[in-house]
Structure 1
Amino acid sequence: MTTWITVCDTCKTDTWQEGDPVTDGERLADLVEAAAADQPEIAVRRHSCLMGCTRACNVAIQAEGKLNYTLGAFVPDTETARALVTYASLHAQSDTGQVPYRSWPTQVKGHFTTRHPPLPQA
């Protein structure tokens, strides 16, 4: 089953400079796409505005029939991207989407905003 990483491509952190043609969300999306390129169980997509502007950069980790998560307040860098892909891979391996805290990459700890239960089947 595929776990999706949805990256808000319109996010701008407090350090984003007016006039910069690339948003921080676009930078993070590029890095996550590159980090997930060799992970067949992970898919990455971009979405304009996840409505978490005060905690930019925002990401959702989702899979059908599993717990889904929203995370934010990231720096758009390679280390963050790798951590998000690692967490998503652990999510993909979990039957429920729940990943034991001790398995979380350090870079995602403290960045969780919400957890959503799976949608009902009917």
Structure 2
Amino acid sequence: MAVTTSGETTLFVCVTCRGQTTDAGHDEQPRPGTRLLAAINSTLDALREGLAIEPVECLSNCNRSCTVAVTAPGKWTYVLGALDPDLHVEDVLTFARLHRAHEAGLPAWRERPEHIRKNTISRVPPLPSRTPEEVSQQ
């Protein structure tokens, strides 16, 4: 995994995702997750500016794959699913840029692409900036 610069937003793309309609008998074809990664990487550099794009193996969302996760230090992490590599590249990148632009990584719901609004699997709070001792004293 590549090292990202401090504050950089990372877009993790599951490359093992098979997708909802993939026939298991067609293993010679690239998996939809791999196709999604390739499609994201082939977009204009300006659309990916400030984003680290990282392939990962399995985000454990197989029932609603293709799946990506968007995160940054000190910000909320989002897991997004039910993505189609032929339809949702722009949606994913738009959401990642909105996440990057928001101080806490919480883009306004209405600003998110419709497919992302309907297919957000989870959001995870940032790790506490306090020490474990400070957390346990509360």
Report the TM-score, using the length of structure 2 for normalisation: 0.81
1:43 to 52, 76, 91: 52
* Equivalence for 1:23: 31
Matched, 1:56 2:87: no
> 1:40 is matched by which residue type in structure 2?
E
Shift in CA distance, 22/31, structure 1 to aligned 2, threshold 3 Å: same
1:104 to 78, 103, 112: 112
Write the letter of the residue equivalent to 1:71.
Answer: L
How far apart, CA to CA, are the structure 2 residues paired with 1:119 and 1:100?
21
Comparing 10-19 with 52-61, which one deviates more in the overlay?
Answer: 10-19
Deviation at 1:36, TM superposition (A): 6.1
State the superposition RMSD in angstroms: 1.4
Paired with 2:78 and 2:125, the residues of 1 have a C-alpha distance of 9
How many residues were matched structurally? 121
Stretches of 4+ moved more than 4 A in 1?
A: none
- Seq. identity, %: 31
Task: State the alpha-carbon separation in 1 of the partners of residues 120 and 93 from structure 2.
Answer: 15
Offset at residue 75 of structure 1 (A): 1.2
How big is the shift at 1:35?
2.9
Kindly indicate whether residue 78 of structure 2 is the aligned counterpart of residue 65 of structure 1: no
Residue ranges of structure 2 left out of the alignment (5+ in a row):
1-6, 132-138
The answer (yes or no) to whether the contact 1:36–1:44 under 8 Å persists in 2 is: no
Q: Deviations over 1:14-68 (max 9, x none)?
A: 3223233311100111112223632321111100111110011011010000011
TM-score, L = length of structure 1: 0.91
